[in-house]
Structure 1
Amino acid sequence: MTDAPLLPRWGHSTLADLLPSISAHLGLAEAGVPSIDLPASSRYVLVLVDGLGYDVLQQGLAVAPYCAGLFGDAQQLTATVPSTTATSLTSLGTGVGPAAHGMVGYSFRDPRTGVVFNSLAWDTPTAPEDLQTQTTWFERLALAGHASHAVVPARFDGSGLTRAALRGQVVSGLVREDDEDDLVARAVAASRAGDRSLVYVYERMLDHTAHAHGVGHPAWRNQLARIDAMLERLRAALDDDVVMLVTGDHGMVDVPADRRIIFEDTPALREGVDQFGGEGRFRQLYTTDPLGVAQRWASELGDRAWVRTRDEAIAEGWFGAVPSADVAGRIGDVVAAMRDDWAVMSLSLPGELALVGMHGSLTRAEMVVPLLVDDPAHDWGDAQDWNDGAEDW
């Protein structure tokens, strides 16, 4: 058990630093000096595998020979806080932390309605562009005349999260998510568009399988093996001047049944909580008594969680820079990041009770994601130097 939560190294090696670093190589002066060391190129394909944490990939390398061949030079990036898809993808797209972009979790309070909403389902009337106002790097690339395409399931085109986190891309939508022939063909075609290009490819089934069965389950290993083969196939189909990057949005922790604390069954956790957000591994609590709620949660959970008031978490840098009042009000008055393999669940959210693999907290397994680089045009032998000091994780 670690004594302190693992926080992002903002401005240095987070998912928020990846697109600015790519954009610098694509000629955008506003991107400045890349903070992530990448091979120079005018064409990049970025594959984001949902749920691909550094540690879980390392555990599965035996069934992922393509990734294993790149893993020795893999860079270690951090996800955002919380380590969840909506927050990480928005940081990826905007190049800033959640304190700046305001997508502060899986479910959080919409300041315009006062209601906790689900940022994946986008079950709030507030327009995504009004809730997340930061310009994305895809929009910046488009303004500079460079092509950026998204090869994603067609149903994601125009979704709330896509509009909030990733707007500015030309979506090349997959009618059938399991049609790898179509995915490879679309990614290759998009990579050849214009003099400079960035293609974003999203693969979600590893996360889906881990939620249903857990990391290391045969079904999860089968998914990893399939994705690995798809990545190798995609790389082979791309032109040699294309740099292919593979990363994840968060890792994963399996939560046993006896490590699930039920909110409704625990009076000390219920007392004073007016609204209940977040997810099992990272709860956001809205209350008029933050100090009292924080004290009760800290006392009840003990060394099973890192409990902070909103002001304490902001002061410690959990969300990046100090947020505006509008963004700060979205974060729970109290936040509880679970340690080890514990979770706080709610009977009011029955879908969560069926999950095996979970994420959202500040453990290494959830926070650290790999950055795999495949650049056939150059010798990428210096990447290991970047990882000097990786033991600091």
Structure 2
Amino acid sequence: MADDVFSALSGDAGRLPRAASVVLVVIDGLGAIGLRAHAGHARNLTAQMTKRDVATSVFPSTTASALTSILTGVWPGEHGLMGYRVVDPDRDLLVNQLTGWESEGLDPATWQMAPTIFERAAATGHGAFAVGLAAYAQSGFTRATMRGAAFAAEARAADRVRLAYALAEQNAGSLVYCYLPEVDKAGHKHGMASTEWLAALEDVDAALSARVPSGVGVLVTSDHGMIDVPERRQIVLDEAHLTGIRHVGGEPRMIHAYLDPAADPEEVIARWRSDLAGLADVASRDEATAAGLFGPRVADAAAARIGDLLAVPRGNGAIYDGTAADQRGRGMVGQHGGLTPEERQVPLIGLGAFAH
């Protein structure tokens, strides 16, 4: 996607037509399947979406990994954000790659290892802007993934879209990123079957009905989709299941498990495969990287952050550490991170100069 955007800005032949400026809109948490299933609540977007207007997100299909891939143009194996929570191997400390940058001592300049699309834009003479919520302006995740962009904030989705369009129109040749997290937030808290999720979808769809300035190309996509996890599909690991495990990272739809140094890896993996038979797929770090799950190339520093074993629930299940002191995450309805089409198929819709 990144190469296509820069080809459109430079006028080179590519999959996108030439555009005076480009706006990249990311609707967090909106999968292509979920969007089409609720087309009546997103008539503007679905009216402009053909069967071919889809893309495939990365693995893990979670914001820390997938949004970083959108904003760098590379797989997690190259940028290094391998999931929601991973171990910092230098400190043997479990860190949150979305919200834990400051509290857990991650350096945004080095922990995220790839140049951003904004740095690339600036290096080739294009303006670079990011539009989001004010609360995110100085976060570690923003500083890691939006290096090189001038950040601007608006509270309402419609105002964020209007500002992004205005920046694109006023700054010829620019790349403008617009982030809309409302659908993801509603899905996590209430689920995709809720009136709150539908209202968030309608609000975002209305925001994107605004007129696109002449000559501006708009790409509307998402970092991942989502599925609802009912309470009966929660898989809770007790102390017996966790024997030999020193850290449980990742998230409920994609677990990174890190072994105690004295544990026998083959015994633990065999036990997890037996315990989770029919419920989840279990793989070692080497098996996952050899299968290309994190991309065709995995840097050594990124590989060191991957769990010794991974567990990906089948269907709409979710895995929880039942021994953890904080069990609030088990109240989350909408979830993502796994390999299902609902989580990995995302829309890729062109508006303005990119419309069909």
TM-score range (shorter-chain normalised) is over 0.9
- Contact residue 218 and residue 354 of structure 2 kept, 8 A: no
Given the two structures, how large is their TM-score scaled by the length of structure 2?
Answer: 0.93
- Contact residue 234 and residue 320 of structure 2 kept, 8 A: yes
The one-letter code of the counterpart of 2:132 is: V
Residues of 2 paired with 1:104 and 1:362: CA distance?
Answer: 14
Say which of 129, 135, 138 aligns to 1:155. Answer: 135
Residues of 1 paired with 2:308 and 2:161: CA distance?
Answer: 45
Say which of 255, 258, 262 aligns to 2:236. Answer: 262
What's the CA shift string for 1:183-226, capped at 9, x where partnerless? 24421321124330111110111011111111122211111111
- Contact residue 7 and residue 16 of structure 2 kept, 8 A: no
- Contact residue 129 and residue 150 of structure 2 kept, 8 A: yes
Residue equivalent to 1:387: none
Q: Secondary structure at the match of 1:83?
A: coil
Residues of 2 paired with 1:149 and 1:325: CA distance?
Answer: 31
- Structure 1 alignment gaps of length 5 or more: 1-17, 381-393
Residue equivalent to 2:269: 294
* 1:1-393 alignment runs, 5 A limit: 18-27=1-10, 34=14, 37-72=15-50, 74-121=52-99, 122=101, 123-174=103-154, 177-178=155-156, 180=158, 182-233=159-210, 236=211, 238-264=212-238, 267=240, 269-287=241-259, 288=261, 289-347=264-322, 348=324, 349-375=326-352, 377=353, 380=356
* Displacement of 1:179: 6.4
Residues of 1 paired with 2:110 and 2:278: CA distance?
Answer: 39
- Contact residue 23 and residue 137 of structure 1 kept, 8 A: no
Q: Secondary structure at the match of 2:48?
A: helix
* Displacement of 1:73: 5.0
- Structure with higher helix content: 1
The one-letter code of the counterpart of 1:105 is: G
The one-letter code of the counterpart of 2:10 is: G
Residue equivalent to 1:391: none
Q: Secondary structure at the match of 1:250?
A: coil
> Which is worse superposed, 331-340 or 186-195?
186-195
What's the CA shift string for 1:253-290, capped at 9, x where partnerless? 111111101123x62x2121111101000000001433
Q: Secondary structure at the match of 2:45?
A: helix
Given the two structures, how large is their TM-score scaled by the length of structure 1?
Answer: 0.84
Q: Secondary structure at the match of 1:202?
A: strand
* Displacement of 1:250: 0.5
Give aligned pairs, total: 349
Residues of 1 paired with 2:272 and 2:11: CA distance?
Answer: 47
How many percent identity over aligned positions? 36
The one-letter code of the counterpart of 1:94 is: T
Residues of 1 paired with 2:314 and 2:247: CA distance?
Answer: 22
Q: Secondary structure at the match of 1:23?
A: helix
What's the CA shift string for 1:93-124, capped at 9, x where partnerless? 11111111111000001133221111111232
Residues of 1 paired with 2:153 and 2:66: CA distance?
Answer: 21
Q: Secondary structure at the match of 1:129?
A: coil
Q: Secondary structure at the match of 1:303?
A: coil
- Structure 2 alignment gaps of length 5 or more: none
Q: Secondary structure at the match of 2:58?
A: coil
Q: Secondary structure at the match of 1:270?
A: coil
